[in-house]
Each structure stands twice: as C-alpha cells, then as structure tokens.
Amino acid sequence: MNRSTAVVPFCHSSDQPSALQQQFSEWECGSAVPQGPDRGWMCCPKGWRRFQGSCYFLSTDTMNCAESAENCTGMGSQLVVITSQAEQVFLIEQGTQRPSRDLFYIGLFEDDMGQWQWVDKTPYNETAAFWREGEPSPGHTENCTIMHLPAWTHNNWNDVLPTTKHHRICEAAAIFV
C-alpha cells in the first residue's frame, strides 16, 4: 500500500447508502484530489481495483453469462462497460496479476442480429470496441462477450454462447468521501 491509500471500515453516513455500500463493510481509499483544499478520498470495496472513478472486481469463480450479470447486480455493480482505450489497457494489466485467470465476461450483449448493446445502455461505439480479428462471429447464438486476459493485444474481445462458464469483471462507481 502506498502513502495515499488506507483501509477503513465504512460507516453509512447518508440516509440512502448505495447498493455497493450496503454490500461491503471494509473499503480501500485513495486520495481523489492529491493537492489543494478540496482533498477527498475515492473508495472501493476491499479487494476491488480502482481506476479513475470506478471500482472493478475480477472474479475467481466461473458462471454463465446470465449468472455473471446477476452476481454483479447482487453486489451493487454491473458487468463492466468499457468506454475507452485507457480503461481497456487498465483491465488488460489487471489480467497479469495473480491468481491467473483467462476469460472474463464483460457487459456487452447482442440484442438483435448485429446490434450490440452495453448492459447500462451506454451507446455501442465501434471505434471504441476491441474485438479479436474475425470477431464478432456471424449469427446470433454467440450473444455474450468475453475478454481474453492476459492479452498480447488490446483487441481481445470474443463473442461466446451464453451458456459457457467464465470469470467476470464487475464495475461500480467509486464512493467519494
């Protein structure tokens, strides 16, 4: 842990704690604004990884696509929505850390033939998509998306059958205190 990180018990100071706050009692906090009078802390549940304003959970167990989405929701989060190359690179870097895992569900689904949609309804932007060569596959049976980690390229997404079991990456907004 570096100097600007602390592990703290989380006290619900507001009347309406978020679903994420209700699920976890121990939080890791880092400085949100390193200098100036408006210093604050950006916190994620202990064991989650922080990047920019989000917290990420990389599972160690496997589930099918629907179970993965439900598991993230049950923790007050969602399957990850990747909106930038910086976020994609961050997640690739997380895949190099132990324990070793390789395939992770992300929150991108095919609603209709060729119509991809993020779980939170963020518009799908093909210029910010990181498909492997030849992906996504034609047809509608492979309508869930996984990320291959660790990756030797930024383009590491693959569409798969929703019944296959893989790890998952959950994402939630960091808590500012």
Percentage with pLDDT > 90 across the chain? 59
> What pLDDT shows up at residue 17?
52
167, pLDDT greater than 90: yes
Can you give the pTM of this predicted structure?
A: 0.85
> What pLDDT shows up at residue 38?
59
pLDDT in tens, 76-116: 999 999 999 999 999 999 887 777 788 999 999 998 777 89
pLDDT in tens, 4-29: 444 444 444 445 556 677 778 788 88
Confidence of residue 129 (pLDDT cuts 50, 70, 90): very high
Cα(2)–Cα(137) distance, rounded to whole angstroms? 44
Give me the long-range contacts of 47-55 (CB less than 8 A, separation at least 24): 48/172, 49/94, 50/174, 51/87, 51/90, 52/86, 52/87, 53/173, 53/174, 54/87, 54/171, 54/172, 54/173, 54/174, 55/20, 55/171, 55/172, 55/173, 55/174
> What pLDDT shows up at residue 3?
40
Residues 6+ apart with CB under 8 A from 55: 20, 44, 45, 48, 49, 77, 171, 172, 173, 174
Confidence of residue 33 (pLDDT cuts 50, 70, 90): low
Cα(82)–Cα(104) distance, rounded to whole angstroms? 13
Per the prediction, the chain carries an average pLDDT of 85
The full set of domains in the chain, from first to last, is: 5-176 (3.10.100.10)
